[in-house]
Structure 1
Amino acid sequence: MTLTVAVQMDPLESINIAGDSSFALMLAAQQRGHRVFHYAAEDLNWSDGHLWTRAHPVTVQRVVGDHFRFGEPVRLDLGEEADVVLMRQDPPFDLGYITATHLLERIADRTLVVNDPASVRNAPEKVFVLDYARFMPPTLVTRSLDEARAFLKRHGAIVVKPLHGNGGKAIFRVGAEGENLSALIEVFNNMWREPHMVQAFLPTVAKGDKRIVLVDGEVAGAINRLPSEGEFRSNLAVGGSAEKTELTPREREICAALGPELKRRGLLFVGIDVIGGEWLTEINVTSPTGIVAIERFDGTDVAGMIWDAIERKLGRGGIGA
């Protein structure tokens, strides 16, 4: 089966091919003989029931500084000419991102969009996870300084982060004495109109923050991300390092609880974050990462597993199959 694959993502010039999951997916698609096109979300157009974009046919190779070649751009009708769209642009999860999901939703009955655009829109990372509060650390969603102070008093040190942030950006630890909490909430309220997430600080984060990847609801692999010296954030994007890991019984329980719902929603490629082997903090559905590190440590071809799942869905003759 030869597929036409349209990848909606950020500029290829800016990616780090050593760890970029979107690049790994493109490389795996190419190795299977699929035709790959690249375009940016802002290039989407809709008229008379058709959604199209200016897209470049692209070939990729794992050569730093020479990792892609564009062909001449074409007008690609995503509903008529593409078999699958990979929605892989990075957050912020802003109105531009949300609008792209609305546009892609209009072709989702004809073209497989991964992940399902309506489900992506309705499952932002730090909001969808609230459905599984029984697995989460103590959590507060608020804009209120008084509520944040009361939460701090109950739980000691806390972490404050934007509700729609990504990549470990703008995450702050506030000690039990509450130093700078009022100034921090003031800054957050000035920067963002939505509420913010406040959580009890988990000292076990020093032992790592595990990224577990699920493909079509099933566990595909995991890595443990460790914070660098003097840092409590373990995201690879802010200097964390990765190591080989195994799942704890609690993490398997979490995955078993999430898996059927992820599959039902059409969230085919998902990365969840678990601290200390037991505390679920995020369900990443917009542009999950981690598959390159998993392959490096475990030899698991997660990109291949994702393409197997896509091909099964299309081969069974049903976008919703």
Structure 2
Amino acid sequence: MYRNFPSLVDDDLAQASATRQVFEQAIGQGHAVITGQSLISEHFDPLIARVYQQIWQRVDPQRLTADEARLYIGELSVFARYNSTLLLRAADTVRGFCPELAQELTRNFLEEGGERGKLPAHYVVFSGALIADLGFRVNGWMPRAASTRSLVSLIDVLAWSHCPSTILGMYYATEAVAIAETRLLQAITDRLGVALERGCGADLPRLHDYYRMHLDEEHAAANGKVAVEQGHQDGIAHFIRQAPLFGFLQPQVIDGFLQMLNPFVDQWVELSAMVDAARGGKD
């Protein structure tokens, strides 16, 4: 009623009754109702897969013009700009309650933010690659979409949360969507490369290596044949699977997951609505 674009997460939960029931039972009863493994494999991950399949169809990268592709890339770069800062803040927030989770978040921070003697910060690599391969600067990009501002604002607030279980849930959402988001972003930058007659894939060498760094288990950045993004997701998932051991509360994990998944999804949906509206105005 108060939105000009749909909530894909709420729409999915309206159809996926088993997942909705698990979420609402845990929150309503105030305790765990299934194992952490089942929560991830039967509910969190399938929900993300279904929603991002819809997002891919809405965005339809192969149809984008150069300006439309730039809009998506610029808006998505905003979260990437602050990701490492927020990881470090979240690590500091949970350190007293669960130093093991703080260590995992710090490990992610060092990979995202750049560890001395290793790769530079991922945002530095990405923004430099965009200039080198596509002649597109996102440094200083100001958000055009309300959902982009909401995304950054919400994760900023959640990283300070007094509830470690909420932080765990929200960071699982953040890491679990990363693979789907990175693949879609790659399709969009490839599309911009084609639109600019610069090619795609390996024709854009620095971007190609950036995506390999995140997704390829054979890349030098991979850890034990586990690609960077998959490793981040697995590392956070461990604490949900072992929630009783570490003292995490399933209702708050679910709450944090939903608080973070919604703005990630909303950003894609609002941007696709903006693109569709602009196209309609040109018809």
TM interval, shorter chain, is under 0.3
TM-score, normalised to structure 2, is 0.26
TM-score, normalised to structure 1, is 0.24
Higher relative contact order (CA 8 A, sep 6+): 2
Q: Which has the higher helix share?
A: 2
**Whose Rg is larger?**
1
Q: Which has the higher strand share?
A: 1
